[in-house]
Structure 1
Amino acid sequence: MMVRTGILSGARMFAAVLAALVLLTACDSAEERAEEHFQSGMAFVEAGDIDRALIEFRNVFKLNGNHKEARLTYARIERERGNIPASFGQFLRLIEQDPDNLEGRRALAEMALETGNWEELERHGAAAAELAPDDLEIQALNNSLAYSQSIKSGNIAASRLVVQKSRDLIQADPGLMNARRTLIDYLVRSRDWDDALDEIDAALALDPNTSGLYAVRLSILQELNRPSDVEAQLLQMTQLFPGDEGVKQLLMQHYIDHEDLDAAERFLRKEAATASEDFMPVQRLTVFLDQYRGSAVAISELDKVIAQGGPSTERMRAMRAVLKFRAGDTDTAITEMRALLKDAERSITTREIEVEFARLLFQAGKPDEARALVEAMLVEDPTQVDALKFKAAWLIEEDQTGDAIVLLRNALGQAPRDPQLMTLMAQAHERNGDRALMGEMLALAVEISLNAAPESLRYAQYLITEGNQTVAERVLIDALRLSPQNRELLAALGELYLQTQDWPRLDSVIRTISSLDDSNAVAMANQLKSKMLSAQERTGDLTEFLTQLADDPEFEVSAELALVRSELAQGEVKSALDRLDELLEASPDSLPLRFVKAHTMNIDGNPDEAETLYRAILGDHPDAVAVWAALRELKVEQGDMDAAQSVLDDALAKLPKDLNLLMMQASEYERTGQLDNAIDVYEKLYAIDSRALVVANNLASLLTTHRTDDESLERAYALARRLKNTRVAAYQDTYGWVAYRLGNYEDALRYLKSAADALPQEPLVFYHLAKTYVALERIDDALVAYQTALDVSGSAESPTKLTTELKSEIERLSAEPEVSQ
């Protein structure tokens, strides 16, 4: 027995040793192969073949995730390519392996500063300072953080100390760009334009490729009203950054703002004439001609280019088809595109034209053909950036945000400085409920676009919804320095000042808009002034202002209607009717005047006459949604719900895809308990416009309160993800209830408690809160929430399904032997 046991033990020991040796050999082999891939990657780096180098480094990580040299090199390359998100992620993995890696900490702090991620800057800046307390660059990074904190807190004394520290750092090392940026920002905020220009010029002398400083310099020159210097700098930037389309767009906008279309055309023609194989200059010229000289002139220009032949002829033919499409000749455009692509050689150019064709097909109501074309392209070339954008956009609309983010990351690897990609990534993060990441992407889009108006507007709107009006104001002002006559930017800034009740600045914006040579702008200014006077409760001044406008033929009707609304708000119904009758004598067929009169007649206690006028208007204007809605509301006020539904049915028969009418239909189904029908209508609404938060919220709410199947729950979660971190109480209730249904009770409690505090009269919210307390075994709290729900749910004389369940749950929990504390 002993011998036999010994033999068996020896055999087992031999097998174990052999297995260990095999495993060790495998480990050695994996590490050796990882090192081979690393060396191969470094060879590609030396040869300038970065794409193949990155592939080799990714192979390293598959075999050895702890290879620090590969990780560090990969992170450096991505940062140099401008792919900040990818670089940041790689440096994060590096410091997870090696927390004391100074280069990693410094790089993370620098990128956090670049993207405005103050939390990460504080984390990595502090760690870097511990590793190298005497490092001036790290001191400058932490000084930038201190400056930001002093600005946010409004601590002027602290700001001055920080700025002095910046001056000291610059004195010690003139090359510290972060210290210079802090000083420049302070000077700009102080409106010390001359000193700011001197500091910017000193910084650019050290690093002439710092594009962000050029944007600040441009804004200062705009403030100083030096248009010739602005033009000179923009022309200089076109030489320094020849591949930056944003700079050329800024130059064009400068010429347009100063009504110098001839100068713009001369610049574009010069560019087009000197271009050999690059089609972009011709495209810019064509777009300009189309917008400012007319589509016929633009198409004629393309005809000349196409007749000359050349390597870009196919692109020009595609562009001509696009112009015809925009001019309304849809069939000809699509026919020409099909002919151009038929039997075309498979190439980069062909795929770019196919993307353009896909856009036309999508706009022409052929989405399936457009998608099929894009999918086929991506099979052939998975790196085609415009195709990736196209597909990512529809994936976002379909709530497939994970897949969209993967595609966009791929695209960013090819084009890391594309503002449109940043914007799409922001939209994907928004749908995913990652609002912090959304903000980072929007901020990057603003930076990369050099404060372009569309990107700045989007970021400012995000900041306002986050309650950060101070930064939103700065973003809008920075954009306006480059585009001082942009109506959308001015209107957004005006609305922000209206919201914050900053009357002097709002008055300044109104005067700026009024000075624009544009009737639409003047109307916008008048509207803002009316809102300001109303918000200030300056009734007399408002009436006087509207009366003055009513005497201006250009604004007569709109001003008179505003006066009518003002009179109605003050209860002067007879005066309003008299004014409307006078106006209708001059313009008896005016839709706005007739509509407001019908509304006023109803207020005056004449609903039958109002209904007659509403129906007469609809006879002339069956597509007037507001009139249908007003007529339906009149019937609701009369308590005739059958007639109200009949009005809505008639309206939907005329306008079956109108969002407002469909929302009314869904609400009516909810009111009458036809919840499956309500869900169907909300699904239809969501298919029409998946960006509407209220539709996503209502649909998710119904799916989780009315249905219990897993498929509905998954659908509700996909819809509700974007409501994460919301401050809207109704949305908090929806997200919290979805979280409860998924078993995330702590997360559910946070949202539902907040919703209950904000909606004290909504029994369903307290019911959801009570269910969550039960799941968390907080029975006392659950009883309180159930009782509150019962108290606010209405009379027990006509019990509903909810009140019956509330009473049952209260009795059940009260009867338990021990109540949790």
Structure 2
Amino acid sequence: MILSLALLAACDSAEERAEKHFQDGLELYEAGDVARAIVEMRNVFRIDSTHREARLLMARIELERDNPPGAYGHYRALVEQFPDDFEAQRAAAEIAAELNDWDAATMHATAAAGLLDEGQIDPVVRSVELGAAYRTAREANDLPAARAIAEEAATLLEDNPELLMLRRIRVDDRFSAQDWEGALTEIDGVIADTPNDRSFYLMRLTALDQLGRDDEIEAQLRDMVDRFPEDDMRRVLVTWYMAQDRADDAEAYLREQIDPENPDAIDRMVLVTFLTQLRGAETARAEIDAILSSTPADSPDRALYRSVAASLDFDLGNRDAALTEMEDIIAGSEPSDQTRRIKITYAKMLNSTGNAVGARALVEEVLEEDTSNVEALKMRADWMISDDRPDEALVELRRALDQAPRDSEVLTLMALAQERLGSHELSGEMLALAVEASGAAPEETLRYATFLVQEDSLLPAESVLIDALRLQPDNILILSALGNVYVRLEDWGRTQGVIDALKRLDNEEAAQVLNELTGQLLAGQNRQSELQSFLEQLAGAQGSNGQAIAAAIRLRVAQGDLDGAMEYLNERLAETPDDPGLRLISAALLSREERYDEARTTLRDLLEEFPENQQLWMALYNVNLAAGAPEEAETVLQEALDEVPDGVVLKFTSAVEAERQGEIEDAIAVYEALYENNSGSLVVANNLASLISSYREDDESLQRAYAIARRLRGSDVPAFQDTYGWIAARLGNLDEALEYLESSAAGLPDDATAQYHLARTYVMAGRDSDALEVYRRTLEILDTNRRQLPFREEVVAEISRLEESESSVDN
């Protein structure tokens, strides 16, 4: 009884402590001290993670901080604890819809609707339901259904003008109908009511662009520069000028931003950066010279201008002089924010020359003086990620984010760190935030769109790319990515729309993307004869266009027309017999026809001309393998490595060859060297972690393998599943391990290593009967493939042991 009373008293005390932290936090929030209020809310959750009011307050704070993903996280926690909480379900549905997470939005909207009385309609919930239904209709290209949903949205909107989801449906409906004036009317109504929602300004730009109102686009972009100063809209405006072939106007605009009476160093540096990108480093260097000549010797900005001049000299190839100048600038400067910026620039220069030690030393100097220096924290975090220390990197990046919450580079690095940890969902959230923080800049947009495509989230990828195109309608990389999304969706009408947009650009880069998309469109619609004609016309129109010729030949080969492929190639070779690309294609066709000696001769002739070309060496290596001459292939590989010792493809192939021969430590050594140069390569990371975990037994090696392989968690690639699953098994996480290893073994039915890992894990889990079956399959594969793998004797011994055990049980 005494013990029970003591426990009850402890519970009461914990609840009281949590409530005290909540009340203190609420008081701080109401007083405007949000940072300290957040600390108090975290204290609440450490004591009581189910505190409803604290969750609601944190969700409100995150929305006010313009962090919808953070707010959604708190609402999601609330509905998990209190599934009958209508307000939380409704809020979660609305936010998830705004984040384009339609599965979650539908789930929460359905739950919220189920809590209403029969016949009752909540406008917010209904708006989410309509948004989901509209998306489904558009995805199915069901235009009548989409039109009907848009009409219902318009009716609901009359009494609920604040619901942005309904507005978005209406705008998209007008866009779909190409009613640009109607779309403008809808958008202007939203902007009048909610003047700070940037997404509708982007839609407005699209409508204005379609209507050809360039003057209004320019005026709106200038307005957005002032209205959204944190979104780098000045860069967007300059990019638009460039897209309009108005480089002089872009330069004039940037010069307008510089106050001649009191010039700001940052505005000057923006101009110099622009000149570097547009007119080259020499022109920018001349601008810096002019700035230096007008800057007094005692000006605090002079050191900054000198460092920029040195950086430009570095880019122009005068590296030694530039580094010496940077060292002199730093030696003569007192500690300050500006000096620390110069040190960071110097560190980046050193790092690019391979002097990582010097670069890291400078970064540490900066952080000793200023522990919250954002640029230094980013560089240190980047190194930590490369060194497989993503947990530590996230600590540094959170400190950086506290100082610069809208720094897209910080958010991108956080995404990379989360990816290394295998937290793919969090990685995607960070990439989405990076796009928003960058103002839908191309690099961040393409990175996030690539992530979405890899996750098979094609419609969200389309939405992200379209948002970016509203700002840069002529960006070829974004148009290419969007076109490929439509190809995967098999939306041929919109694919043709991207092709038409590329035609209007009328330049070589756009033409290349246009041709690729046209080929994909014809192939996707199974218009084989048109595709063949298109490729051959393209090759003829552009002379010896290797890509077009190769594509035309691949198509003939796929159709089983080897003779036609060779005849077509010979015709092209007759026109340009010395073309190296055509000769390489010829070698590939000769090999396919089993004319190996002729293929070898062709490749040897090419290697006489291009001895450092890895593609040619690999082609010769593969011809020997195809000819059933593995020893000759090994000789070719060694010859290639002697000629191109740093060839990444050749070194990777040598590691695969060493593993095939059972020379595991040699393979590991090669992968280690490749990993040191590029720890971001998924394939290298997988192969290295796989070999370490499979053939080394010490705990230190196992922990290293786990650090490398964490990023593979959640993968659906069988080889990656095998690596991660086996490491999980060795760490004792058998349920998780079997989930991955069973999937891997099914996906790699002829891979002895994958089967062996599954069999061993079955033994660990006490499933001897399953283990025996898989061990037998492993031995069959080993005997069939005759690979020299070190675990063959173990497999034989285990089969014998398990059979004896099974026999004794039967007896």
TM-score normalised by the chain length of structure 2: 0.86
Choose 437-446 or 357-366, whichever is displaced more: 437-446
State the match for 1:194 in structure 2.
181
Shift of 1:639: 4.0
Unaligned runs of 5+ in 2: none
Q: 1:60 to 1:28 in 2, by over 3 A?
A: closer
Q: 1:125 to 1:604 in 2, by over 3 A?
A: closer
Shift of 1:667: 0.8
2:562 to 552, 571, 576: 571
Deviations 1:458-482 (A, max 9, x none): 2221122112223323333332333
Deviations 1:183-202 (A, max 9, x none): 43454455443333222211
Assess if the C-alpha contact under 8 Å between 1:787 and 1:806 holds in 2: no
1:241-256 to 2 correspondences below 5 Å: 241-245=228-232, 247-256=233-242
SS of the residue corresponding to residue 817 of structure 1 reads helix
Shift of 1:267: 1.0
Alpha-carbon distance in structure 2 between the residues aligned to 1:411 and 1:290: 28
Identity of aligned pairs, percent? 38
Within the alignment, does 1:184 sit opposite 2:184 as a pair? no
Q: 1:316 to 1:67 in 2, by over 3 A?
A: farther
SS of the residue corresponding to residue 440 of structure 2 reads coil
1:726-737 to 2 correspondences below 5 Å: 726-737=715-726
Alpha-carbon distance in structure 2 between the residues aligned to 1:281 and 1:492: 33
Within the alignment, does 1:743 sit opposite 2:729 as a pair? no
State the match for 1:385 in structure 2.
374
1:628-667 to 2 correspondences below 5 Å: 628-667=617-656
State the match for 1:317 in structure 2.
306
1:488 to 473, 477, 498: 477
1:666 partner amino acid: A
Within the alignment, does 1:677 sit opposite 2:672 as a pair? no
Alpha-carbon distance in structure 2 between the residues aligned to 1:419 and 1:617: 46
Q: 1:331 to 1:162 in 2, by over 3 A?
A: same
Assess if the C-alpha contact under 8 Å between 2:600 and 2:620 holds in 1: yes
Q: 1:347 to 1:745 in 2, by over 3 A?
A: same
Shift of 1:392: 1.9
Within the alignment, does 1:468 sit opposite 2:457 as a pair? yes
Alpha-carbon distance in structure 2 between the residues aligned to 1:784 and 1:323: 66
2:221 partner amino acid: L
2:718 partner amino acid: A
Shift of 1:661: 0.6
State the match for 1:801 in structure 2.
793
Shift of 1:50: 5.8
Shift of 1:640: 3.9
State the match for 1:7 in structure 2.
none
State the match for 1:306 in structure 2.
292
1:757 partner amino acid: A
Shift of 1:523: 2.9
1:709 to 673, 698, 717: 698
Shift of 1:78: 4.8
Deviations 1:691-732 (A, max 9, x none): 221111112221222222212221222222222221212222
Shift of 1:554: 6.1
Q: 1:525 to 1:765 in 2, by over 3 A?
A: same
Assess if the C-alpha contact under 8 Å between 2:127 and 2:163 holds in 1: no
2:208 to 213, 221, 230: 221
Shift of 1:242: 3.1
State the match for 1:259 in structure 2.
245
Shift of 1:56: 7.6
Choose 350-359 or 565-574, whichever is displaced more: 565-574
Alpha-carbon distance in structure 2 between the residues aligned to 1:538 and 1:730: 35
State the match for 1:757 in structure 2.
746
Alpha-carbon distance in structure 1 between the residues aligned to 2:668 and 2:548: 42
2:391 partner amino acid: G
Shift of 1:251: 1.2
Choose 731-740 or 78-87, whichever is displaced more: 78-87
Q: 1:466 to 1:71 in 2, by over 3 A?
A: closer
Alpha-carbon distance in structure 1 between the residues aligned to 2:273 and 2:78: 46
1:277-292 to 2 correspondences below 5 Å: 278-292=264-278
Q: 1:510 to 1:777 in 2, by over 3 A?
A: same
Within the alignment, does 1:811 sit opposite 2:803 as a pair? yes
Assess if the C-alpha contact under 8 Å between 2:24 and 2:37 holds in 1: no
Choose 592-601 or 448-457, whichever is displaced more: 592-601
Shift of 1:795: 5.0
Shift of 1:672: 0.5
Shift of 1:84: 4.9
2:611 to 618, 622, 634: 622
Alpha-carbon distance in structure 1 between the residues aligned to 2:55 and 2:527: 64
Deviations 1:477-525 (A, max 9, x none): 3323332222212222333344444444434433433442322322333
Q: 1:70 to 1:762 in 2, by over 3 A?
A: closer
Alpha-carbon distance in structure 2 between the residues aligned to 1:169 and 1:449: 34
Assess if the C-alpha contact under 8 Å between 1:34 and 1:64 holds in 2: no
Choose 60-69 or 355-364, whichever is displaced more: 60-69
Assess if the C-alpha contact under 8 Å between 1:75 and 1:90 holds in 2: yes
Assess if the C-alpha contact under 8 Å between 2:131 and 2:166 holds in 1: no
SS of the residue corresponding to residue 651 of structure 1 reads helix
Q: 1:343 to 1:434 in 2, by over 3 A?
A: same
Q: 1:519 to 1:92 in 2, by over 3 A?
A: closer
Alpha-carbon distance in structure 2 between the residues aligned to 1:449 and 1:796: 52
SS of the residue corresponding to residue 259 of structure 2 reads helix
SS of the residue corresponding to residue 359 of structure 1 reads helix
1:483 partner amino acid: Q
State the match for 1:351 in structure 2.
340
State the match for 1:5 in structure 2.
none
Within the alignment, does 1:82 sit opposite 2:74 as a pair? no
1:144 to 119, 124, 128: 128
1:240 to 227, 230, 243: 227
Assess if the C-alpha contact under 8 Å between 1:419 and 1:449 holds in 2: yes
Assess if the C-alpha contact under 8 Å between 1:567 and 1:576 holds in 2: no
Q: 1:102 to 1:305 in 2, by over 3 A?
A: farther
1:748 partner amino acid: A
Within the alignment, does 1:172 sit opposite 2:163 as a pair? no
Shift of 1:252: 1.4
Assess if the C-alpha contact under 8 Å between 2:133 and 2:149 holds in 1: no
Shift of 1:152: 3.5
Which of structures 1 and 2 has the bigger CA Rg? Answer: 1
Alpha-carbon distance in structure 2 between the residues aligned to 1:798 and 1:220: 63
Alpha-carbon distance in structure 2 between the residues aligned to 1:163 and 1:567: 47
1:518 to 473, 494, 507: 507
Q: 1:501 to 1:243 in 2, by over 3 A?
A: closer
1:525-604 to 2 correspondences below 5 Å: 525-533=514-522, 540-552=529-541, 559=548, 570-572=561-563, 575=567, 578-579=570-571, 581-585=573-577, 588=578, 590-603=579-592
1:696 to 673, 680, 685: 685
1:468 partner amino acid: S
Assess if the C-alpha contact under 8 Å between 1:144 and 1:178 holds in 2: yes
Choose 431-440 or 216-225, whichever is displaced more: 216-225
Alpha-carbon distance in structure 1 between the residues aligned to 2:418 and 2:442: 22
Alpha-carbon distance in structure 1 between the residues aligned to 2:717 and 2:677: 23
State the match for 1:9 in structure 2.
none
Assess if the C-alpha contact under 8 Å between 2:313 and 2:322 holds in 1: yes
2:247 partner amino acid: L
- C-alpha root-mean-square deviation of aligned residues, in Å? 4.2
Question: Aligned residue pairs: how many?
Answer: 798
State the match for 1:368 in structure 2.
357
Alpha-carbon distance in structure 1 between the residues aligned to 2:230 and 2:581: 50
Within the alignment, does 1:208 sit opposite 2:200 as a pair? no
State the match for 2:320 in structure 1.
331
1:768 to 752, 757, 773: 757
